[in-house]
Amino acid sequence: MLRILWRFRAKASRLEDFRRTYGRDGEWAKLFARDADYRGTEVLRDTTNRLAFVVVDSWAAEDSFTRFREQFGHDYERLDEQCRELTEEETRIGVFTVEVE
């Protein structure tokens, strides 16, 4: 399984819009759900900063997200552009695989 982690700082004036858009049933999740390899999204809120979040998108395999971007790249870019007004900061933390012991 693949996990992609993003760090965001939402704009105070757009906090509720951010939560709705990035949440497990939000616009990003709906877009990702077009692909059968999408496994869900978790939104983690920083306990010391109400505007700071980590978003974790889960995919079935290491190449799942790459294939998704190839197929739905235009829609991804359009939504990404629309969402820029919701945040002060967006940083891709990294792409990780889940280790099985």
Domain residues for the domain of 91 are 2-97
pLDDT mean over 31-45: 97
pLDDT tens per residue, range 47-97: 999 999 999 999 999 999 999 999 999 999 999 999 999 999 999 999 999
CB 35 within 8 A of CB 90: no
Please give the tally of structural domains in the chain. Answer: 1
Encoded tokens for 86? 């919701």
Q: What is the pLDDT of residue 96?
A: 96
Q: For position 34, which CATH number holds?
A: 3.30.70.100
Q: Distance between CA 30 and CA 26 in Å, rounded?
A: 6
Whether the per-residue pLDDT at 101 is higher than 70: the answer is no
